[in-house]
Structure 1
């Protein structure tokens, strides 16, 4: 071949290689840490980011997936060392602590307006974007885990119980559970209610709505002392634990965790459970893919709000937020990516992947999601959402609550001591004393 004809081609290839080398040298690289929330988190994040990266060819995003069990220690280590990622996912209860360590970049009002400000998001989770005593915003809500009551319509019908009446208040709920307990479905007795005991990491989450609906809280109004042993909290926890003490919750369920209770609901063990949107994901997923779509429980699923206490019917909102670390060397690009992930379309897409609710109200009520009747019913039941106060010492405080409330469930199960309101009160007093030690050291 004529070498004179090859020369222009060689020059063209050399120029292309030079351009690619220049582009690579000028590409921005971002690191993001997220939790393992979906069944294939790494692949799902790749799909979620694909449209954004297609519009930003000079950007590279490295995704690290953390397990919830070890994430806290890794994130706090990164906060202390300043050697963390550019962006990271934080549980809604974690923002107060990590921002107090000076590890998060505050978001300006202009940035907040870019995504829609507080009014765009569920109020309960917007309150977790900053510490309760610091107005600076350090995160944007990404997804929500809220709770409702799931029940078996067929069981209620056989027992002659109207669900609307049953979930009206605490009194009607107890009476309904007494009527339903022991109903025989397909030759098998079904327990009225299922909830986990001391082996569930959600233990505080399980109790919080009942405490709030009795007019209580986990803290005093100034957030300086524990209120777990207040008369209102005692009333709520005594009511809650009475279902197990009276045999309306099987003693075996007190050894289980939330996931096992949910599986028991689909296996026909319980007529009622309280859970999050992950239950709906199971209902919409066939058994061949790990779901419960074909079960009798899925075909007879009903959804209700928490039965109202003296102070109404509130539910727990939790979930995750996204933040930029102060140590990031690429804050402008990090913000652009954060704004994309917290956008309406992205939150809808991630909701379909994860089964969690979008944190944006306009995304959560999108027609593509609301087309599922169960989902639409769920959204209608969580209008009164609430979250814990965002404090810096939540992590050690929650550990105290988990340990001591777990010990309390040994009393409920009859493993340690005799169950009584007095025994519950003593357990809550011990819990409050230890919690106050944590709060005193933080104040």
Structure 2
């Protein structure tokens, strides 16, 4: 790993046709590229099934073979850091876009200067909001967008109709009222489902709700997590289980979206806050597109002082070129291919994610109401997570703190505002190097 300092290693380790418009071949390429793809679908095998035809097409056009490995999210960051440390990594790799600045600071990724950007289609290829999560401000991007994602509130049309509810909630008060009407603990039917044991989902929602309450998480690179605003945002989330009691306490154990999707598809829960790729999971659970709707995650009305109308972070997957690749030109050809409109149409349609290439939205598959809602969220009411080296550590510390608080509530213990502030103070201390 080409690092400016070993402290950064510890920080991140803690966190645990080429053109879609021109089918002409360019068989001047040689050799083999290794590609690490993140697990985006229900299984590693399904990812390979989706990606393999596109990789074969890339080889047909360029003559460059691609060796694919799909890596679970639980292993991906550690694999990237270990590869960077040893110099034995892939040529091209997927990263969670919130890691961009952290990996940029580590030196693991080649920068996309203007020359490199031009070779992969230029800035104008991409949805503008997706470019905000590619690295620190004022520096060349560490990676380019690959798949767009955003959070939304999925709601069951059947459960809503049974309760006589005609439209999804637009404010936080309406969300609580709607969820209460849809909660029947005696029948094990709940208004809302969450992934309480997923530190990443917890960190994302803490960020969103904190920003709704006016929280500022960092001043420059200095963390300011211990604030009444962030505590209020996290408290709003915890209250779904503790005070409003519209979430089954057992959701505190849900580590990924498998169980929340099943609960929602079977009617056990009436609403769930998940990212846009959940549409594929719902289909796999036998839920037809007309069985549910999607709305932006509600915000408090009126907004607290300094609060922002934020309903998601700018979520998604970026594509980077490994620093130690010995085939940089071939890697850039592959990045151009994967972000081209044709590839974007094909792969995002199968994964349930949003194209990052603007031209891909001419496809009818991306013009329905659900995709339109997510695209509007991503373009208009999503905010970029802090693009600073400590972001990955922030996700781990705050996401784990929220997980632990939810576990206490599920275990029957009372969690106070003071408890939330204590967790945030501890996170601040660790962010600042105090332990």
TM-score by length of 2: 0.82
Shift of residue 200, structure 1, vs aligned partner: 5.2
2:429 is the alignment partner of 1:433: yes
Corresponding residue for residue 311 of structure 2:
314
Cα separation, 2, equivalents of 1:318 and 1:177:
26
What secondary structure does 1:418 align onto?
coil
Cα separation, 2, equivalents of 1:179 and 1:103:
50
Task: Pick from 128, 131, 143 the counterpart of residue 126 of structure 1.
Answer: 131
Shift of residue 115, structure 1, vs aligned partner: 4.1
Corresponding residue for residue 296 of structure 2:
305
Corresponding residue for residue 4 of structure 2:
none
Cα separation, 2, equivalents of 1:163 and 1:120:
36
Change (3 A) 1:357 1:422: same
2:358 is the alignment partner of 1:366: no
2:144 is the alignment partner of 1:140: yes
Change (3 A) 1:378 1:91: closer
Larger radius of gyration: 1
Change (3 A) 1:409 1:293: closer
| Gapped regions of structure 1 (runs ≥ 5) | 1-23
Corresponding residue for residue 235 of structure 2:
238
Corresponding residue for residue 17 of structure 2:
none
Whether the aligned pair in 1 keeps the contact of 2:120 and 2:332 (CA below 8 Å) is no
Change (3 A) 1:162 1:211: farther
Task: Pick from 382, 404, 407 the counterpart of residue 385 of structure 1.
Answer: 382
Change (3 A) 1:214 1:162: farther
Task: Pick from 81, 85, 94 the counterpart of residue 80 of structure 1.
Answer: 85
Cα separation, 1, equivalents of 2:200 and 2:324:
31
Whether the aligned pair in 1 keeps the contact of 2:149 and 2:353 (CA below 8 Å) is yes
Cα separation, 2, equivalents of 1:205 and 1:53:
37
| Gapped regions of structure 2 (runs ≥ 5) | 1-26
Corresponding residue for residue 331 of structure 1:
328
Whether the aligned pair in 2 keeps the contact of 1:404 and 1:430 (CA below 8 Å) is no
Cα separation, 2, equivalents of 1:230 and 1:175:
28
Backbone CA RMSD of aligned residues: 2.7
Corresponding residue for residue 265 of structure 1:
264
What secondary structure does 2:223 align onto?
coil
Whether the aligned pair in 2 keeps the contact of 1:193 and 1:273 (CA below 8 Å) is yes
What secondary structure does 1:93 align onto?
helix
Change (3 A) 1:429 1:373: same
Shift of residue 207, structure 1, vs aligned partner: 2.5
Cα separation, 2, equivalents of 1:253 and 1:314:
22
Change (3 A) 1:163 1:429: farther
Corresponding residue for residue 220 of structure 1:
218
What secondary structure does 2:320 align onto?
strand
Cα separation, 1, equivalents of 2:87 and 2:176:
52
Corresponding residue for residue 165 of structure 2:
161
Alignment deviations for residues 155-207 of structure 1 (CA, whole Å, 9 cap, x no partner): 3334343425x22x2222222223332399xxx56211111323554221233
Whether the aligned pair in 1 keeps the contact of 2:37 and 2:93 (CA below 8 Å) is yes
Alignment deviations for residues 241-300 of structure 1 (CA, whole Å, 9 cap, x no partner): 1121131112122222332112111111111111112321134x3xxxx43236xxx543
Change (3 A) 1:116 1:54: closer
Shift of residue 144, structure 1, vs aligned partner: 1.9
Corresponding residue for residue 16 of structure 1:
none
